[in-house]
Structure 1
Amino acid sequence: MDGTALTCLTLFLPFLGALLAPWLTRRMGHNAAWVLALVPAAIFLHFIGFSAEVADGGIVTGGYRWVPSLDVGFYWLIDGLSLTFALLISGIGTLIVLYAGGYLKGHKQQGRFLSFLLMFMGAMLGLVISDSFLMLFVYWELTSITSFLLIGFDHTRQAARRAALQALVVTGGGGLFLLAGLLLIWNITGTTQFSTLFAMAPQLKESPLYLAALLLVLGGAFTKSAQFPFHIWLPNAMEAPTPVSAYLHSATMVKAGVYLLMRLNPAMGGTPEWQTILPVVGGTTLLIGALLAVRQTDLKLMLAYTTMASLGLLVLLTGFGSPHAIEAAVLYLVAHALFKGALFMIAGIIDHETGTRDIRKLGGLRRAMPITFAAAIAAALSMAGLPPFLGFLAKEEIYYALGRFDAWSVVFAAIAILGNALMFAVAFAIALKPFLGAKVETPKPAHEGPLLLWIGPAVLSLKGLAMAALAGLTHHLVSTPMASAIAGEPRLVEISLVPHLGVPLGLSVVTVVLGVLIYRNLDRLRALLAGVLADIGWGPDRGFDQAMRGLVGFSFRLTQRLQTGRFDDYMTVTFIALAVVLFATPFVFGEMPRPPVFPKDVPWHELAIMAIAAVGLVTVVLAKDRLTAIVSLGIQGFAVAVIFLLYGAPDLSFTQFMIETLVVVILALVMTRLKVYKTDHRPFRQTLPDATIAAACGLGLCLLLLTVTQSPFDTTLSDFFNLHSQAIAHGANVVNVIIVDFRGTDTLGEIAVVMIAALAILSLVRLRAGSMTTRMADNDPDAGEGSA
């Protein structure tokens, strides 16, 4: 199997695993997680095989063409950025699948959950590997759909359903903005692939449509990565089971927006708009997220809001534009994936083994849960930016990028210091408060979790330590290739654990001191923030509910106005629109047909057929009852069928005969079943407008047919079918070959539609017959005695 086919198979492997997950879980129980974890593990091994080539500056592309004329295909791009994301998604995904096996042990829907999880993994993997605009958008929306299924997994709870719907509305709506932005970029540059877009960066940036394209793309990125004020779905997504939260916040959906910004940085970055909007929105999100994290007492909500803050920091760095800002974003993204995944799983272990996530009701768990405690300390040290963990390297690089002395840098450096200090306090609150102090009685007797639960956080915590200790190897394989891909030019990352005196180290010390002060006064700060939020009252989350209620109310009123429930109203509007289109188009474009010229030597039998059709038309108009009108209508159809026959189309004529016969019979049967007047009882004031509309439609269609017949006949298709019908399809009857072979799928669809309609009619007839039988039995006083 060649590399292209193997990569394609790898992209579809999670969906294959999703199909097998329910069956495996029924057979093996929670042990199925060990088997299903082989899916992301195999993906990880496949992509790690590209590490050496990508580290040497190589880029791997491949895929399959779909619509060549539109340059649309299933293409992928593997460089430092996409490879790092693919390894995070598959590597952390392996641990999450194992963790889910232990966390949902004994749950009757565990198979369904693992299936959703693997589908989500496949969607995210396809998103980050995509080179095609269309491929990225399809996977982008698929992440929204699969996250909806995961967040609303416990669909019996209203809170879970609301959270799932909110996430779908916000991120799905952002996806529509992204689609519009990608289409606009395609219109500006003429390309639909990222690998060729980067060379067209000057053309894109100089376009007058650049700002519109940028705002549309940012709409997609900001909603996906929970930037203020689109962050509301992220904390509410904590209604999902903890494995979802750990995966969603560490390596997948919430980083999709950040990934998109990093991917587009070479093509759209470096402009004043980019370097203004991203830092401002990112800095605002960082501060608000960190403050809201301090306000919480639920472990998962504390982590959720720090994720929001971290995403803001990543957006800030991606758009800041100073030297080393991209390198700082790369290091922080990887470090965050490791420590946040570990901390979420630790919060899940605490909840699973004690029965509560409320930090105020936890304490003294260190002896009962020593492995969890050790993993929590390691992850918290990395989140706090302390050595010897990868988070320390990231924080030093952040301050190296922001630590300049112009006003712009000073403002955002201060924002970063305050945000990092708040997250420092939250990290140690999660890692220390549940484990230290006096033993607190919990709803469940506390004990260490099983292997499937703690193996994930232990591996991720140690990974954060190992990557910092082996910084040279980390930079060679991960940081430098990723930073180079984002910057669009070679970048070298060299930072190590050896501290260097200077501004970055000084800002780190300020952060630690401020973080310790916040940690020691956490309860008072929490109470203060609670009071401030209570005074503010209204917020984006409540605004979402109000917006949804307003949308539903507006839709209801609009539907009441437009959908009157009367079929004749709908028909009237439809035919008025048809008449307007038929007349407006030729008048606007000057395409009125020439007056027809009637030949003088028309055979008498053709004139007779036309006369029969005219008689049928007059009879329809003047008929005194509906049955006569129906039969007269069939006369016109039969006359047309004879004309087809005379002009050498016997198969078409036969079809017309059959259809007209069936129409007359069916309409006659329907009329006998419906309770309608035998004659038309409409008053003249209603008949006149209806007749006018009918005449306008008829005349408009007549003008259209005259225009078509007066246009030069293009024989291209006719020549093609005549030439190939027998050679390719082995059929002498060209019409039959077109229907059965060249338009086989279309014909199959038509047959399917007819079959569905027939089944629906059959169901209605049987339902009507059953109800009539029931009514007859109810009205028959002897029916009960006869039954007895």
Structure 2
Amino acid sequence: MAEKTALTFFCLMLPFLAAILAPSAIGRLGHAASWVLALAPFFAFLHFLTFLPEIADGGVVTGGYAWVPSLNLSFSWFLDGLSLTFALLITGIGTLIVLYSGGYMKGHPQQGRFICFILLFMGAMLGLVVSDSFLMLFVYWELTSITSFLLIGFDHEREAARRSALQALVVTGLGGLSLLAGLIFLWNMTGVTQLSLLVNVDDTLRNSPFYLAALLLLLGGAFTKSAQFPFHFWLPNAMEAPTPVSAYLHSATMVKAGVYLLMRLNPVMGGTAAWEILLPFFGGVTLIAGTLLAIRQTDLKLMLAYTTMASLGLLVMLTGFGTPHAVEAAVLYLVAHSLFKGALFMVAGLVDHESGTRDVTKLGGLRGDMPITFAAALLAALSMGGLPLFLGFLAKEEIYYALAHGDLRSILFTLVAIVGNGLMFVIGFAVALKPFLGPHVETPKHAHEGPLLMWLGPALLATFGLFGGILSSATHRFISTPMASAVAGEPTLVEITTIPHIGMPLLLSIVTVAFGVLVYLKLDQARDFMVRVLAAIGSGPDRGFDHFVAGLVRISVAVTRVVQPGRLEIYITVTFILLALTLLVPPFVYGELPDMPQWPSDVLFHEWAFFVLAVIGLVAVLRASDRLTAIVSLGIQGFAVAVIFLLFGAADLSFTQFMVETLSVVILALVMTRLRLSPRDHRPLGQLLFDTVIAVSCGLGFALLLMKSTQLPFNTALTEFFNAYSKIIAHGANVVNVIIVDFRGTDTLGEIAVVMITGLAVLALIRVRLRNPLPETADTQVESPVKEPAR
């Protein structure tokens, strides 16, 4: 068991290790490096395959290491049917993507950097889906956003790529903050910080008064990550990334992270009215919007991107629908979609790589030039269209079996599914047939079959979609049934086969195909119609994002001009006003004023002398006629206070005060040598009174705070601790020194660093030599070492 735990941890770290080695491997091995680097995800894939029998028999696999035991934080993983399926998709498709990237990016000067980013993303996504700890889940969630930002903006010299990367980061980053708040709600509502324990809380979450707040926050994270309406706009724009990124992040992995989260939470948060209203509604709107927008496109990648958005909407709709077979339909469609959409994206990249264009209206007749690519595209399209023998057919039949009921709600969502599936049928075959059939069209490059590295991935994925349907019993045994059981929260048996059964689901499938064929034959007219509709609607959320960012910048500039006007006087004034309010408001509002102390009767003459000296120093500061006198007077007051500390037994504090006062006087004097020391600041009476009120308020606030503190019972716990353990732990007899050097060593190091940085800054100021004299002002008059020539 310990060996398997260690091996699982190694497999989770393996993509990150491969990412570190990727640039140097590409530089040394060249073309062969892709095969070597692909061994990392392939090894992880084989390792996760070994868990299939145990998970298929209803077991779960947990493991990990304690991180911060006192806070119940751990680096732990949880493998059941849901997380294991995702892990196999991520590592399996990831292996093919690394190989595909080797062919697609061949000769690119930044190929090593690109594959490094792909592997980093792979490790982040793998960690996300197997995470058991809430903290681990959030860390990996944010890491997927960061790595996808790097991949989308890979071609950073193009403005469109930079904009798309920033847009994806902003949207998913804000969603990540929403997710974090939702996880904190779950923690407080249930008292657990692990997903494996969360699935055992029964109805605790559903019955909580904070259920709706937690649900909305978690949906914020899931909807932004999985591009649900109205947060969908970042996904099509992310097609600015190279095609391997689109095939991996935006069809098979990252965009399904939100769906994964919803499926994971379904057993403990599903089944409520809010769940069964919000998820189907937003999922259905996303499904229809995605397919309609896909019809509008002519770019192969954008056509597939919008259908990916639509498919994610379908998955969300099914996850929240609430009928027994909806979960089975969702898990079947998720796996089928990962296979056929990953294959079609790779096909789009192959066509672009070999012909020089992705515009479907400028392609045709490539069947003879790219026969393997055409075969892979056709198999993937057949699965996407939901035709018999393919895994997509099983998913579509199960979708209609789950949705088709007699109530109005079911009828409405069944119609949504028919329209959505029919239009995805159109796009699937438009991508698979139009570039390859018909008369040969002249393309920017002379097309020919791509290299093995590029057609191997789509061929295998499309073939798996076929064999997944033909061998449905094995697929259900090891994939569908364990996954559906995990999502449903109870044992669920998936039994659908590729043999058509006469009934409503088959009839609806036939209607879907007929509708798809009809629209496919009229695709050009449908595209023109959508162009006119979208032109009439005007700008959408994508343009709204630009307006939002521009408005945010304008507001930031306006706020900055108010709170950062560039005048030190304003900063200091605001700081001390807030300090005074912080010190004075709570005692008066909450009645925590201290009792007035009794005037001491046993103070000796020499002690009174230093008290009087401190007061004299204060008066001297206020009455000083020039700045140098004020600095010296301030030092006299500080030294008097240091002597008072010494007389009352605080020798260590006294010596510290002596050091601070000495340094303060020296540093201030050195700085003031850059200024005219003779004049005194002349302020109007109103300004003088305002500053006096602020100063007195701060002094009074500190006085009240100190008096209240000394009147409270003294807690000796820390004193006893330090007295007991200073000698034993730190081997020091001087308790104060031990506290400063050992128990608070990091704090002391920070103080030393601050003093050092301040000293360096002061030294830099002293050594500055102004090139031109500055005009003298009433506040600061600078003497320039550069003398003006006589006129």
Alignment TM class, shorter chain as reference: over 0.9
SS where residue 200 of structure 1 aligns?
coil
2:120 maps to what in 1?
119
1:24 maps to what in 2?
25
1:226 maps to what in 2?
227
CA distance in 1: counterparts of 2:787 and 2:95, whole angstroms: 64
2:591 maps to what in 1?
590
1:786 maps to what in 2?
none
- The alpha-carbon distance between structure 1 residues 64 and 299, as it changes in their structure 2 partners (threshold 3 A), is same
Q: How many aligned positions are there?
A: 779
1:656 maps to what in 2?
657
1:171 maps to what in 2?
172
1:465 maps to what in 2?
466
SS where residue 249 of structure 2 aligns?
helix
Is residue 85–residue 251 contact of structure 1 (8 Å, CA) maintained in 2? Answer: no
SS where residue 171 of structure 2 aligns?
helix
CA distance in 2: counterparts of 1:685 and 1:450, whole angstroms: 82
SS where residue 324 of structure 2 aligns?
coil
> How do 1:452-531 and structure 2 match up within 5 A?
452-531=453-532
SS where residue 232 of structure 2 aligns?
helix
CA distance in 2: counterparts of 1:218 and 1:527, whole angstroms: 35
1:333 maps to what in 2?
334
2:144 maps to what in 1?
143
CA distance in 2: counterparts of 1:761 and 1:106, whole angstroms: 52
CA distance in 2: counterparts of 1:750 and 1:17, whole angstroms: 41
Report the CA distance between 1:743 and its aligned residue: 2.3
1:356 maps to what in 2?
357
Report Cα offsets for 1:419-467 as digits up to 9, x if no partner.
1111111111111111111111111111111121111111111221222
The answer to whether the aligner puts 1:11 opposite 2:12 as a matched pair is yes
- The alpha-carbon distance between structure 1 residues 102 and 770, as it changes in their structure 2 partners (threshold 3 A), is farther
The answer to whether the aligner puts 1:535 opposite 2:536 as a matched pair is yes
**What letter is aligned with 2:489?**
G
Is residue 89–residue 252 contact of structure 2 (8 Å, CA) maintained in 1? Answer: yes
- The alpha-carbon distance between structure 1 residues 47 and 758, as it changes in their structure 2 partners (threshold 3 A), is farther
2:81 maps to what in 1?
80
CA distance in 2: counterparts of 1:17 and 1:679, whole angstroms: 67
SS where residue 74 of structure 1 aligns?
strand
**What letter is aligned with 2:295?**
V
CA distance in 2: counterparts of 1:51 and 1:679, whole angstroms: 83
CA distance in 1: counterparts of 2:14 and 2:654, whole angstroms: 52
Is residue 628–residue 678 contact of structure 2 (8 Å, CA) maintained in 1? Answer: no
Is residue 22–residue 112 contact of structure 1 (8 Å, CA) maintained in 2? Answer: yes
2:735 maps to what in 1?
734
Q: What CA RMSD, in Å, does the superposition of the two structures yield over aligned residues?
A: 2.1
2:704 maps to what in 1?
703
CA distance in 1: counterparts of 2:85 and 2:718, whole angstroms: 51
CA distance in 2: counterparts of 1:13 and 1:615, whole angstroms: 71
Is residue 353–residue 449 contact of structure 1 (8 Å, CA) maintained in 2? Answer: yes
2:285 maps to what in 1?
284
1:36 maps to what in 2?
37
- The alpha-carbon distance between structure 1 residues 365 and 188, as it changes in their structure 2 partners (threshold 3 A), is same
Is residue 671–residue 765 contact of structure 2 (8 Å, CA) maintained in 1? Answer: no
Is residue 275–residue 321 contact of structure 1 (8 Å, CA) maintained in 2? Answer: yes
2:187 maps to what in 1?
186
Report the CA distance between 1:771 and its aligned residue: 8.8
- The alpha-carbon distance between structure 1 residues 646 and 484, as it changes in their structure 2 partners (threshold 3 A), is same
- TM-score when normalising by structure 1: 0.95
1:784 maps to what in 2?
none
2:439 maps to what in 1?
438
CA distance in 2: counterparts of 1:743 and 1:4, whole angstroms: 37
Report Cα offsets for 1:249-280 as digits up to 9, x if no partner.
23221101101110110111001111111111
Report the CA distance between 1:154 and its aligned residue: 0.9
CA distance in 2: counterparts of 1:181 and 1:489, whole angstroms: 24
Report the CA distance between 1:30 and its aligned residue: 4.0
Is residue 592–residue 703 contact of structure 1 (8 Å, CA) maintained in 2? Answer: yes
**What letter is aligned with 1:117?**
I
Is residue 15–residue 41 contact of structure 2 (8 Å, CA) maintained in 1? Answer: yes
**What letter is aligned with 1:20?**
L
SS where residue 62 of structure 1 aligns?
strand
The answer to whether the aligner puts 1:46 opposite 2:47 as a matched pair is yes
Is residue 769–residue 785 contact of structure 2 (8 Å, CA) maintained in 1? Answer: no
1:549 maps to what in 2?
550
2:58 maps to what in 1?
57
1:258 maps to what in 2?
259
**What letter is aligned with 1:139?**
Y
**What letter is aligned with 2:564?**
Q
**What letter is aligned with 2:180?**
L
CA distance in 2: counterparts of 1:24 and 1:757, whole angstroms: 45
Is residue 187–residue 193 contact of structure 2 (8 Å, CA) maintained in 1? Answer: yes
Report the CA distance between 1:17 and its aligned residue: 2.2
Report the CA distance between 1:757 and its aligned residue: 4.5
SS where residue 64 of structure 2 aligns?
strand
Report Cα offsets for 1:677-725 as digits up to 9, x if no partner.
7311111111111011001100110010111111111111121122112
**What letter is aligned with 1:199?**
N
> How do 1:233-272 and structure 2 match up within 5 A?
233-272=234-273
CA distance in 2: counterparts of 1:462 and 1:206, whole angstroms: 46
**What letter is aligned with 2:87?**
A
Report Cα offsets for 1:118-159 as digits up to 9, x if no partner.
221122112111222222222212211111111111111111
Q: Give structure 1 stretches of 5+ with no counterpart.
A: 782-788
**What letter is aligned with 1:502?**
G
CA distance in 2: counterparts of 1:274 and 1:601, whole angstroms: 74
1:316 maps to what in 2?
317
Deviates more, 1:751-760 or 1:301-310: 751-760
Is residue 670–residue 766 contact of structure 2 (8 Å, CA) maintained in 1? Answer: no
Report Cα offsets for 1:39-97 as digits up to 9, x if no partner.
21222222222222211111222333344444333332211111111111111111111
CA distance in 2: counterparts of 1:519 and 1:96, whole angstroms: 30
CA distance in 2: counterparts of 1:341 and 1:230, whole angstroms: 22
The answer to whether the aligner puts 1:108 opposite 2:109 as a matched pair is yes
CA distance in 1: counterparts of 2:425 and 2:459, whole angstroms: 20
Is residue 201–residue 268 contact of structure 1 (8 Å, CA) maintained in 2? Answer: no
Deviates more, 1:298-307 or 1:583-592: 583-592
Report Cα offsets for 1:226-251 as digits up to 9, x if no partner.
11111000000000111111111232
1:96 maps to what in 2?
97
Report the CA distance between 1:654 and its aligned residue: 2.7
The answer to whether the aligner puts 1:642 opposite 2:640 as a matched pair is no
Report the CA distance between 1:24 and its aligned residue: 2.1
Is residue 282–residue 312 contact of structure 1 (8 Å, CA) maintained in 2? Answer: yes
Is residue 174–residue 220 contact of structure 1 (8 Å, CA) maintained in 2? Answer: yes
Report the CA distance between 1:612 and its aligned residue: 2.2
CA distance in 2: counterparts of 1:746 and 1:21, whole angstroms: 40
Aligned-residue identity in percent: 69
2:749 maps to what in 1?
748
Is residue 365–residue 435 contact of structure 2 (8 Å, CA) maintained in 1? Answer: yes
**What letter is aligned with 1:746?**
D
2:779 maps to what in 1?
none
Is residue 249–residue 340 contact of structure 1 (8 Å, CA) maintained in 2? Answer: no
> How do 1:611-626 and structure 2 match up within 5 A?
611-626=612-627
- The alpha-carbon distance between structure 1 residues 758 and 77, as it changes in their structure 2 partners (threshold 3 A), is farther
SS where residue 613 of structure 2 aligns?
helix
Report Cα offsets for 1:457-506 as digits up to 9, x if no partner.
11111221222222112111111111111111110111111221111111
Is residue 401–residue 504 contact of structure 2 (8 Å, CA) maintained in 1? Answer: yes
Report Cα offsets for 1:202-229 as digits up to 9, x if no partner.
1211222211211111111111111111
**What letter is aligned with 2:431?**
I
Is residue 155–residue 161 contact of structure 1 (8 Å, CA) maintained in 2? Answer: yes
1:375 maps to what in 2?
376
Report the CA distance between 1:406 and its aligned residue: 1.8
CA distance in 2: counterparts of 1:766 and 1:352, whole angstroms: 60
Q: Give structure 2 stretches of 5+ with no counterpart.
A: 774-783
Report the CA distance between 1:311 and its aligned residue: 0.3
SS where residue 204 of structure 1 aligns?
coil
SS where residue 231 of structure 1 aligns?
coil
